[in-house]
Chain A
């Protein structure tokens, strides 16, 4: 069975601080995808990134960066120089191909509050 753990329920930082959101996943499949999504207070969901299991290269997009480490089954997300607009709930997710096609498993989310 697949599982995604986001151990940090809530994080609070002051603007301009760097913050890392942890994501640990479990799967026996060798082919899978990992995702991060953002849900700001307005409620919509925003896709941030998809990474496949064969690509361990870290990714940077502006102030966002992702660190994928298969050895520790982790896919952590770092926000550099955080801003108030980064305040949101962030979800990590895993997808694998099962009997009924690709299935997604989400973590419980981490609520990030960036204080001015």
Chain B
């Protein structure tokens, strides 16, 4: 158990809908990263937050947004869902440090868009 929790584990929804994925980092970790893993695109980095502020942005679509709250949990919002958004979404957290350090991954949320 990495100490990172993600909810829900599975999510099935329809095209055009909006969903929110939640991630709670390990106690004491300030960084949260979001990744998408799909059959078509492989593993992709979406976005990183550090202590509530956006730190880095990767291949995140404009239909997607994220935030990190004062208690350090993070949410990834996916809207106007398309079939291609079906994927496994991972979050990871890392301890406070100047750079990217050891990352601890959550179990992932499997999103299916029908």
Query: B11 contacts the other chain (Cβ, under 8 Å)?
Result: no
Partner of A95, one of B88, B100, B104, B105: B100
Do B107 and A102 touch (CB < 8 A)?
no
Partner of A101, one of B35, B48, B88: B48
Query: B67 contacts the other chain (Cβ, under 8 Å)?
Result: no
Which of under 10, 10 to 19, 20 to 34, or 35 or more describes the interface residues of A?
20 to 34
Do A106 and B90 touch (CB < 8 A)?
no
Q: A45-B92, A91-B43 are in contact. Are A101 and B57 (CB under 8 A)?
A: yes
Query: A33 contacts the other chain (Cβ, under 8 Å)?
Result: yes
- Give the CA-CA distance A52 to B98 in the complex, in Å: 13
In the complex, the chain A residue whose C-beta lies closest to that of B56 is A101
Chain B window 25-58, contacts with chain A (Cβ cutoff 8 Å), 1 for yes, 0 for no: 0000000000100000011110010000011111
- Give the CA-CA distance A91 to B105 in the complex, in Å: 14
Q: A103-B45, A104-B45, A106-B42 are in contact. Are A33 and B99 (CB under 8 A)?
A: yes
| Total count of chain B residues near the partner, CB < 8 A | 24
Partner of B88, one of A43, A52, A93: A43
- Give the CA-CA distance A101 to B99 in the complex, in Å: 11
Do B104 and A47 touch (CB < 8 A)?
yes
Measured between C-beta atoms, what is the minimum distance from A5 to chain B in Å? 12
Q: Which 9 A-B pairs have the closest CB atoms?
A: A101-B56, A104-B45, A100-B57, A106-B43, A45-B105, A47-B103, A102-B56, A103-B58, A101-B55
Besides A52-B99, A108-B42, A109-B42, 12 new A-B residue pairs in contact (Cβ under 8 A), listed by A number: A33-B99, A45-B92, A45-B108, A47-B103, A50-B101, A95-B45, A100-B57, A101-B48, A101-B57, A104-B45, A104-B58, A105-B45
